[in-house]
Amino acid sequence: MTASGLAVENLVIVGSGPAGYTAAIYAARANLSPLLITGFQDGGIPGGQLMTTTHVENFPGFPDGILGPELMDQMKAQAVRWGTRLVEADATAIDLSQRPYRITAEGQTIEAQAVILATGASANRLGLPSEEQFWSRGISACAICDGATPQFRQAELAVVGGGDSACEEAVYLTKYGSHVHLIVRGDKLRASGAMADRVLANPAITVHWNRQVADASGGDWLEAITLRDAQSGATEELAIKGLFYAIGHTPNTRLVKGQLEVDGHGYLVTQPGRPETSREGVYAAGDVADAEWRQGITAAGSGCQAALAAERWLTHHNLAVTVSHEPVDPAEVGEPTRTAESDASNYDPNALWQKGGFALRKLYHDSNKPLLVVYTSPSCGPCHVLKPQLKRVLDELGGAAQGVEIDIEADQEIAEQAGVTGTPTVQLFHNKELKQTFRGVKQRREFKASIEALIGVPA
Ligand code: NDP
């Protein structure tokens, strides 16, 4: 027991990408009852970078590919099935100065004998002079989340970068834009051969070699970017309505700064080919310690190594308090349930959560309760993360407010009328009035506080 009266955890895993979940699966099956802090807004979204990918075609076991968010859902379900406990929040502090180690999340300090850091890496930005002005008004870091936005339809779009992400996003955006420009700062693509071939063979994509983006311009929405020739320095304007960044990532090591050895680029240093960091009982897995391979499968593999190493270390030092599984074989996860689109036959005026334009119109006109409208797109990972959080808020409010999901691809007109410029967007209505708009993933308490303010619950 600790001074706070809480038991010291055997193992806390920070991060919920393939590395974190794989570590959790192994640790849970070793009866260590691991606690996994998923992260929420800091350093990307829960589920990690695969949440902002479409089809993952190279993860063994899925011959026809699998959607990134779906793969992460499966890993999460597998980790939970075997007894992993989740804290769905950001870790806000990590203190490795003495054992047991201390990790703070949701205002609580958790003590742990061993820690696995699987915090991944975050998407880089270009830092253009006008970046803030056009952020979410044409500039986006996630083509997969925002591609279906009405403003991008049949418009000229650009992607910056020459890696697999840039190529994947350029191909993906041809579904929505009239033409896609790929802006590459050098004279070759860094992407894998198959991905590069797909781009070069696609007539809807023009590659601009040796070009840097110097700035962006426009009015309320992005209208053009200035490209600079990397060799001559000459500049030219390119008229586009969307600019998508795919320029690599920076490892998320802020919380352990000065406490663990990092390399010149900020990646955690581990023993060669092993997960041990410079501190005993602290392990690194996935992209936070991998500047080279950075694949879902290598992250998963390193998560497995980290869990096995932690288990051995805990056992060797007699620090683990194991918990047997009850029942021995936990119930199978089964198929996820999906909300059906509401129509006249299944619309329920009292349902907490419904889907589609029919339910939106009915609730907007007939209900006097606060109404949360969440605009999503089919492959948007962050939407996937946000929806269960919103459902939880509505659950906690016990029917005092309702929610409707609008797929902006299926209901383009509604999205356009609502001025949606990216997904997820949440609008809060009350008595036919728009009260608040939330863009991107936000904390549960923000939605709850706004709804409670409308229904007169004291803060
Ligand atoms: P990468 O680091 O591989 O590529 C980043 C790209 O951005 C490079 O082409 C780089 O140029 C360019 N870049 C960096 N900074 C700037 C800048 N300031 N201005 C202009 N261009 C810049 O990142 P990715 O996100 O593409 O990929 C990360 C990892 O994930 C890789 O291992 C990749 O293979 C993997 N991945 C796999 C996918 C799949 O298999 N489906 C999909 C997406 C990613 P330069 O080349 O000149 O350095």
The pLDDT tens digits of the residues spanning 75-98 come to 999 999 999 999 999 999 999 999
Same domain, 113 and 55: yes
Rounded-to-integer distance, Cα 416 and Cα 411, Å: 9
pLDDT at 131 > cutoff 60: yes
Average pLDDT over residues 368-378: 95
| CB of 456 closer than 8 Å to CB of 430 | no
Same domain, 228 and 256: no
Same domain, 95 and 179: no
Ligand 1 proximal residues by C-beta, below 6 Å: 53, 58, 126, 160-166, 168, 185-186, 190, 212, 246-248, 294
Beta bridge partners of 86: 36
| pLDDT score of 144 | 82
| pLDDT score of 328 | 82
Which of 221, 245, 269 represents a domain boundary (last residue)?
A: 245
Average pLDDT over residues 100-122: 96
Is 328 within a domain? no
pLDDT at 422 > cutoff 80: yes
The residue count of the chain comes to: 459
| pLDDT score of 431 | 95
Average pLDDT over residues 54-61: 86
167 is catalytic: no
3-state secondary structure of 383: helix
> Alpha helix (H) ranges present in 162-287?
164-173, 193-200
- Select from 168, 193, 335 the least CA-distant residue to 246: 168
For residue 346, which amino acid is it?
Answer: N
Is 348 within a domain? no
108-117/101-105 β-pairing: antiparallel
| pLDDT score of 1 | 52
Tell me how crowded residue 203 is: count the other CB atoms within 10 A of its CB: 7
- 242-266 confidence digits (pLDDT tens): 999 999 989 999 999 999 999 998 9
Gap from CA of 191 to ligand 1 centroid (Å): 7
- Residues of the chain with pLDDT > 90: what percent? 79
Least confident interval from 142-156, 295-309, 349-363: 142-156
Beta bridge partners of 243: 139, 158
Is 58 within a domain? yes
pLDDT at 411 > cutoff 70: yes
> Alpha helix (H) ranges present in 260-352?
296-316
Average pLDDT over residues 101-114: 96
- Residues of the chain with pLDDT > 70: what percent? 98
Same domain, 303 and 375: no
- For residue 30, give every residue at least 6 positions away whose Cβ sits within 8 Å of its Cβ, in sequence order, or none: 307, 311, 322
Token pair in block for residue 302: 């390193």
Give the residue, by CA position, lying nearest to ligand 1 atom 9: 162
Domain count for the chain, please give it. Answer: 3
Which of 316, 337, 365 represents a domain boundary (last residue)?
A: 316
- Where is pLDDT greater, at 229 or 56? 229
Token pair in block for residue 384: 């996937």
Give the residue, by CA position, lying nearest to ligand 1 atom 3: 163
| pLDDT score of 378 | 83
